[in-house]
Structures are given as structure tokens and as C-alpha cells.
Amino acid sequence: MENLEKKLGELEALLFIHGEPLTFKKISAILDLKSEETGSLVGEFKNRLDGPERGLALVVDEDKVQLVTKSEFNKVAEDFIKEELSEDLSPASLEALALVAYFAPISRSRLEYLRGVNSSFILRSLLLRGLVERLPDPNRQNVYLYKPTFDLLKHLGMKTREELPDYAKFQELLKNFETNIALETAPTTVEQPLGEGLAPSVQAVELKESDVANPNKEN
């Protein structure tokens, strides 16, 4: 295989960005590889990750593959998550939560496209806090959609997402934004985050750190 090192880097980036199990067929299509080349590439990447100096591992399950944390480092991950959950939500977490609240159901890839940064850890933190929930995408395998939990809406004093401040306005802004992007260029070439004025502000939904730190906490 030509440019093995480059292809290994592309595979690692792809699995990291996707965050969920990815089929060999999808990998082949994205990296422009033959099926046997994909199998060899995955095998080589798995072997390289097996070293004790690597914190990640490759899980291969029939026709799917996923990048995961090695089990021997679970304690480090658990301690980090516990510390994160004991603190208030960061501005980045509040931004992601506002986007999920307004534009649900939303996939992680779409959320990251709108924010312009990787959001896998933030989504995991919001899931553990009970602020968002995920459900399988009925139209795509191995893809999940995120939406605000009922407990979050209840904590905010709302029965539906449509009661969020300026809900219709932000829906229309998003629709116009994505229409313009589709006309100008393919979404995959856009590297800039959501334009100013389009992302729902934290103030718009009144999502204060103290309000959403624990939605199940009695006032």
C-alpha cells in the first residue's frame, strides 16, 4: 500500500472524529481503499496500538471497528470524569447544551460542524449529568442523535423545546445558514464554527451553571 503512514494517520483521525463503531465498508469508501487494503490497514493500526506506551486500543467486531480507551487506564478516565462532574459546566459545555436544546435531534457530527470543535467528551459529560439523552438514528446505522432530557426541560420550567426563548427565530437562522452553505460549498470544506448570531446564546435559554449542574436537585 502506498503512503502507509499517511493512511494510518487518516484512519486514526477518522475513528477519533466519528467516535462510534465504523464499518470496514465505510472506511474503504472514505479513505478510497480496496476492501483487502482496509483490512490490512486496520490490522496494522491495531498492532501499533497494542504497545504499552499507547493509551488507546482498536476493537474489531466482525465488520466494524472502534477506537477506545484501554481497560488498564479506566481508573484514570474515571477519576477525571468524577472531577469534571463535581464542577460547574464550562462555557463550552453550556454552548453545546444550548445547541442540543434548540436543534435536537442532532448528531454529534452536526454539533461539531456547528461548533467547529470536537464535542465527544462534552456530550459524554452532559449524558452523565442527565442533561441530554441519545437515541439511535433511524436513517443511519451506528449513528446516534442527541436531545435534551425531560428532566432538563422540567427544571427549566418548560413542557416542550418550542417554549425556549426565540425558538422559531433560531430555527429559521439555522435553516438559512445551512441553505447558504449548501449553495456556496460542500459542508465538509467548511472549517469555521457557527457564525455569530446563529448559535443560541447561553443567556437566551437562561442556562446558568448553577441551574444545570444537577437538574434533579430540588430547589
pLDDT value of position 183? 66
What's the grid cell of residue 112?
A: 461539531
Which CB contacts under 8 angstroms, 24+ apart, belong to 169-177?
A: 170/102, 170/103, 170/198, 170/200, 170/204, 171/102, 171/103, 173/197, 173/198, 174/102, 174/103, 174/198
Q: What average pLDDT does the segment 66-71 reach?
A: 87
- pLDDT of 70 above 70: yes
Most confident of 87-91, 144-148, 204-208: 144-148
What's the grid cell of residue 32?
A: 478510497
**What is the dihedral angle through the alpha carbons of 59, 65, 66, 70, rounded to the nearest 10 degrees?**
10
What confidence tier does 24 reach under pLDDT thresholds 50, 70, 90? very high
Are both 4-72 and 87-212 of the same fold?
A: yes
What's the grid cell of residue 81?
A: 470524569
Taking the domains of the chain in order of start, what are their residue ranges? 4-72, 87-212
Cα-Cα-Cα-Cα dihedral sign, residues 74, 79, 85, 88: negative
Q: Which is it for strands 144-148 and 132-136: parallel, antiparallel or unpaired?
A: antiparallel
In this structure, CATH architecture of domain 87-212: Orthogonal Bundle (1.10)
Fold for the domain defined by 4-72? Arc Repressor Mutant, subunit A (1.10.10)
